[in-house]
């Protein structure tokens, strides 16, 4: 099982939304999505976990690594709607990661986030259809 992702830019911030399960087999894909975010956005990144069914300790460590990568680029990471267990593995060398109860609250902390400007997503992001897949496949 892996993740799907969607990245949207807003004035002064970006939202990286995940769906699926962030486990060991999804860490590479997540890291690639963070690289996409670094190349295409500016400002704080809100990691929207509303669609995430759960995460392993390795997935949580990947989030901590994403916070370090973003901080090295002068950007912050904030979390919205963490999975029900409410935990995040602290690594001791991670920049502070604010946690919001949901995405609207996270956006409100940034004056509403403004209107979405651009969007990128993985092929199988929920609500989209992979053009390589035909009905009945």
Domain locations in the chain? 3-118
Q: Which tens digits make up the pLDDT trace of 66-103?
A: 999 999 999 999 999 998 766 676 667 888 899 999 99
Which region among 92-96, 111-115, 133-137 has the lowest average model confidence (pLDDT)?
A: 133-137
> In this prediction, what percent of the chain has a pLDDT beyond 90?
63
CA separation for the pair 89, 91 (Å, rounded): 6
CA separation for the pair 69, 31 (Å, rounded): 10
3-118 under CATH 3.30.750.24, yes or no: yes
What pLDDT is recorded for position 102? 95
What pLDDT is recorded for position 137? 36
pLDDT for 135 beyond 50: no
CA separation for the pair 66, 60 (Å, rounded): 10
What pLDDT is recorded for position 1? 64
């Amino acid at each position: 099982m892996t993740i799907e992702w969607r990245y949207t830019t807003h004035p002064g911030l970006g939202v990286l939304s995940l769906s699926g399960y962030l486990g060991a087999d999804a860490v590479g894909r997540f890291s690639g999505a963070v690289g996409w975010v670094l190349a295409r956005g500016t400002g704080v990144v809100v990691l929207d976990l509303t669609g995430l069914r759960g995460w392993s300790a390795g997935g949580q460590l990947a989030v901590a690594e994403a916070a370090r990568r973003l901080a090295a680029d002068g950007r912050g990471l904030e979390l919205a709607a963490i999975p029900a267990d409410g935990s995040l593995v602290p690594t001791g060398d991670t920049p502070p990661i604010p946690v919001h109860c949901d995405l609207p609250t996270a956006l409100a902390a940034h004056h509403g986030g403004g209107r979405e400007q651009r969007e990128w997503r993985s092929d199988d992001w929920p609500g989209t259809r992979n053009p390589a897949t035909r009905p009945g496949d």
